[in-house]
Every structure is written in C-alpha cells, then in structure tokens.
Structure 1
Amino acid sequence: MPNDFQPTDMLKDYYEKWISVYKEGAIRDVTLAKYQMSHMWITRLAPELRLCDVTRVAYQQIINEYAKEHERQTTMDFHHQLKGAVLDAVDEGLVPRDPTRKVIIKGKTPSTKKTKYLNQFELHTLLKSLKLDDTINWDWFILLVAKTGMRFSEALAVTPNDFDFAHQALSVNKTWNYKAGGGFSPTKNKSSVRKIQIDWQLVMQFATLVKELPLDKPIFATKEKVYNSTVNDILTRYCTKLNIPVISVHGLRHTHASILLYAGVSIASVARRLGHASMTTTQKTYLHVIQELENQDIDLVMRSLSNLT
C-alpha cells in the first residue's frame, strides 16, 4: 500500500483500501461488517480530511463526534477499528505522527439495559412450560441453549452427528451463517471449538428426537433463512405469560453461565463451556455475579475466622 497513496489523499479512501487489503478474507463476515460501518462513519464525519492533516486534534474531533451518538464502549470499538489503519499510515509516512496517542474516549450515557438473565427458579418455570413434543420446534431449541449456553449461531449448526450420547457430550465445531442466508461457517474463534457435557435427561430427550434425522444436516436450521427474532418472539410470549423477566435467546446463554457461577462452578470451567477466548472475557461479562459471590466469600471467611477463637 505505500505506493498507492500520498499524504494529500483522503483518510476515508485510505481506510477503505486498508480494510480491503488487510481485513477482507482474514476476519469473519460479521467483524468485517463492523469495519465497513466504521468506514461509513469516517466518510460521514470527515469526508475531506487528508492523511497529512490527521493530527491529534483532528483525530480526537472524529472520536468526539462519533461519541455524540454512541455509548462509550461502542466508541471505544470504533477507535480500535480506526486506530489500526491510522498507525499503518504513520508507519508508511502518510501521517506525520501518531494522532491516536492519549485519545480521550467519551460517549452517551448507557441506556437502561433489559434484564440479561433469569434466576434458577425463573429458568425452571420457563423450561417447565415449553411444549416439547415428538417433532422439532423452537421450544427444543430454547431448551438446548438454556442447558448448554451455546451461542445462537452455534446451536443452529448442531447436527445429530455432533451428539456423543454415550459420553454425554455435544461437540461445537461450526456455526450456521444465518445472517447471510444459511450454510455452515467457522466458529467465532479457536476457543469456541469445544465439547460441552450435557445431563442425562437432555441425552435421553435428544437421542429420541434426532434418531430419524440426517446425521450431517442441522437439526433446527431447516430453512434457508432463520432469524433470531423468531426465537426472541417466542421467548417474549413465554416470559410475559409466566410473569418472569423478558430475555432474549442470548439471555439464555447469560442465564446458563450465571446459574453455574452461583452454583460454585469455577470461572475457568464456565469460560471453557461458553467458548470464551479467555477468562478475562468471562470475568468482564459476569462481573456483577462475581462481585456478589465475592461478598458471600467475605462473609464465609469472617465466620470461619471467628470460629477460630
């Protein structure tokens, strides 16, 4: 790319080419779409900004303008997506000095979040109400996600071959590309390839359910187009009827992890079960649960120490 651009060329043009050269084919489609969205914002916020004019002030102004319409975490993501290209432009001598140094990340006040997970009683209430008959339906999908913590796309890709009923395990080694019309795709990352232990009841249920199905075909993604809103709508109706917090299908994953943590399962084990790349991701996502458990630990420590006198 050094010979393709001059310092007087536009940042938006350089960024578009940078995405094409360094990101297309190297990252998942869903991540590539985020970079392309960032390019759209650069085109909107700084359409006439030349590479040689990308100073710390100019870069900060872009971040500030973006932050007016986005929450802080989203702004941070935008900054990281843009920063990689800008630093490459610095290395190529197109931008004089690193303009991303000491950038200040702002953002709108986070909106009130919906409840992300159910407690054990609420989950039990939900699962007891599911219509689990002899044919495949979305209620079976809800049960599977609730008991495994799989991502939506991972659960869609499950085939009868993925079950190891003898060893009570379910292999996660692919996803279903539902956003692009279907077809198997790689998992989110290497850590997402895993085996999930499942309980004997789920083994018995699915062994019967899938015995007549094609071994290598997805159990649930039987149509070309599948939408997560379909399952979310079913969950909404159930939760409303049962008078429990309304959650999304991704909320079932949060519910699964939270219940395991409250039950005393280690963070490392939960991270492996969820397919997180590191325990740090698990700790950040479930900080509220971990903090509550730490408070319980403090009480336990104090009681134990007081008994030593």
Structure 2
Amino acid sequence: MLNDLSGNDLFCNYYKEWISVYKENAVRQVTLNKYHLAHTWIERLAPDVKLSELDRISYQRILNGYAKEHERQTTMDFHHLLKGAVLDAVDDGLIPRDPTRKAIVKGKPPRPKKNRYLNQFELHRLLAGLDLGSEISWEWFILLVAKTGLRFSEALAITPSDFDFTRQTLSVNKTWDYKNGGGFVPTKNRSSVRKVQIDWQLIVQFSVLVKNLPDECPIFVREDAKVYNSTANNTLARLCKKSGVPVITIHGLRHTHASLLLFAGVSIASVAKRLGHASMNTTEKTYLHIIQELENKDVDLVMRSLTSLV
C-alpha cells in the first residue's frame, strides 16, 4: 500500500499503487486505461528513478522523452495524468519539492487536421444518399447520430424503450461498453443523462423500425457480436466518398450536429445541454472557431444596423 512506500521506492511502482488506490472504481474504464498506459510509459522512460530522486530535471526528462513520440497536446495530457500522483507524493513527504513546477511541455508538430464536420449542404447530400431499408443498419445509425449529436457509445446503447414517440424525445441514460466486450455502463458524466428532442420525421421512421424489437435490447448491437468504432467509421467514409463530401468520422457527425445548431442561432447553453457536456466551457472550447465566426457576423450586423440610423 501507499503508506508502506518511502522515498527509496521507484516512482513507477508508486504510480502503479497510486492508480490502484485512487483511480480504480473511481473513474470510467476508458480513463483508467489512460492511467495504466501512462504507467507503462513511466516504466519505459524512468524505470530506475526513485521518488526521492524525482526533481524538476528528472521529471522534465520524462516529459521530453514522451514528447519525442507525441504531439504537444498529447504530452500535456500525459503531464496531467502524472501530476496528481506526484503532488500526492509531495504532500506525503516522499518527494522533497514539487518537480512539476514550471515544467515545459513540448511535442511533435501536429499532423494536418482532418475535416471535423460537414456544412449544411454537405450533410444534406450525405443523408440523401443513405440506403435506409426496413432493417437496422449502420446507415440508420449514421442518420440517428447526425440528427441527435449522440456520442458513439450513447447511440449504441439506445433501446426501443428509450424512445418516447408521443413527446418526441430520446432518453440518453447509459452507454455501450464496446471497448470491453459490450454491456451497458453509465454515461460519461451526470450531465450526459438527458432527453434529446427529435424531429417528427425521425420519430415516424424509428417507430416503424423498432416496432418488433425487444424493448430493453440495444438496437444497433447484434446479440453476442462485438462492435467496432472502425466498422462504423469505414461505412461512413465510404458513404462520404459516394456522396462527394469530405470524409469525416462518426464523432465528426456529432461536431456537424453541434455546428449546424450554433450557425442556426441556437444558444451555447442549449447546445451544451443537448450534447451532454458537463459545462458550457467544454462547448465553447470545442467550437471556439464557430463562435468567433458568429461573433464576427454579429459585429457586421450591428454596424449595418447603426449605419441605417443615419
């Protein structure tokens, strides 16, 4: 246990035990996996560094070693995964002084960014080219995500009982653990539990589609079959090429949904609630470029309005 460790113990061993004590059963599995991966990197970059030897220089060397193979933002995430454990060790007197203070985060130049979202006309072309038959398919999945902005795991977990066809809403209260063999698991955060309003056309389509399906079984997951994000993304990529629009991912459909709402004048607060963001800050950070573009349009509108008063 952590109480039995001293400054002479290895930092990599301390970090492993710290994960076990503070993070297991406290964070989602996907987040826990990130901590375990960070531990693997510590074993690789600083296998012999003791807690008492972890000063600013040795910590910076760990970050520099990680940065050689990762972009700056990824290195920043790695730094944050380590910092909590390091500060706990400082508080416990295992490390003399905070080695993370004034740490410099470096990294490889970012790769060219892929298209993150489609504009309204491109989305219309994509959806118009979907082959929506009478059976559940990835193309129905693509339509649902495009019109609701659900996360991939949220959409996978949708069951017939989640639809309220009378009130035209879709309940999001769980996700599908596709990375770990399947099964329902909690949503990303409490704000992710929500009711998403859906249009009457989607209501009619899905009321027919799910009519004879088991109420509590996920619509898009076949029994005893694993689901892969890559399968859905490959299907979407093929359909994008077929429609002559930029290739995006399933998560890009979520960005597309949010972007169209913002351009339509929907408030940031409403978009954040619809997407299940924990706070508006997340929405503002993710869609800053769109918000700035809208602000520029607002300035132009104000100036035209003022000019007309002369």
Distance 1:133 1:7 in 2: 64
Structure 2 vs 1, CA of residues 2 and 239 (structure 1 numbering), >3 Å: closer, same or farther? Answer: closer
Measured after TM superposition, the shift of residue 2 of structure 1 is 4.8
- 2:173–2:193 contact (8 Å) kept in structure 1: yes
TM-superposition CA deviations, 1:189-228 (whole Å, max 9, x none):
0010000000000000001111111101100012430011
3-state SS in 1 of match to 2:166: helix
Give the corresponding residue for 1:115.
115
Q: Does 1:53 align with 2:44?
A: no
Q: Do residues 225 (structure 1) and 226 (structure 2) align?
A: yes
Contact in 2 for aligned 1:169/1:197 (Cα 8 Å)? yes
Where do residues 1-309 of structure 1 align in structure 2 (5 Å cutoff)?
A: 1-223=1-223, 224-309=225-310
Supply the AA of the counterpart residue of 1:215.
D
Distance 1:20 1:191 in 2: 27
Q: Are the counterparts in 1 of residues 2 and 17 from structure 2 also a CA contact under 8 Å? A: no
Q: What displacement does 1:308 show? A: 2.3
AA at the equivalent of 2:304: R
Question: Secondary structure of the equivalent of 2:215?
Answer: coil
SS of equivalent residue, structure 2 residue 171: strand
TM-score, scaled to structure 2: 0.98
Distance 1:2 1:126, change over 3 A: closer
- For 2:176 and 2:69, locate their aligned partners in 1 and report how far apart those are by CA, in whole Å: 32
- Partners of 1:307 and 1:43 lie apart in 2 by 67
**Which whole-Å CA distance do the structure 2 matches of 1:200 and 1:300 have between them?**
33
**d(CA) in 2 for partners of 1:174 and 1:5?**
39
Q: How many residues align?
A: 309
Letter in 1 for 2:130: L
Q: Deviations over 1:244-287 (max 9, x none)?
A: 10011111101100011111111111111010111111111111
> What is the SS of the residue equivalent to 1:195?
strand
Mapped contact 2:2–2:18 kept (Cα < 8 A): no
| Alignment root-mean-square deviation, CA | 0.9
Kept in 1, the 8 Å contact 2:149–2:253? The answer is: yes
Runs of 4+ with >2 A deviation: none
The CA distance in 2 between the partners of 1:236 and 1:78, in whole Å, is: 30
Amino acid at match of 1:300: L
Contact kept, 8 Å, 1:2 with 1:92, in 2: the verdict is: no
Structure 1 unaligned residues grouped into runs of 5+ = none
Q: Residue 245 of structure 1 aligns to which amino acid in structure 2?
A: P
Which amino acid in the other structure matches residue 129 of structure 1?
Answer: G
Amino acid at match of 1:72: R
The answer to whether the Cα contact below 8 Å between 1:267 and 1:282 also exists between their aligned partners in 2 is yes
Give the drift of 1:19: 0.4
2:64, 2:132 → 1: CA distance?
A: 51
TM-score, structure 1 normalization: 0.98
Deviation at 1:103, TM superposition (A): 1.3
Gaps of at least 5 residues in structure 2 are none
- Which residue identity is paired with 1:206? F
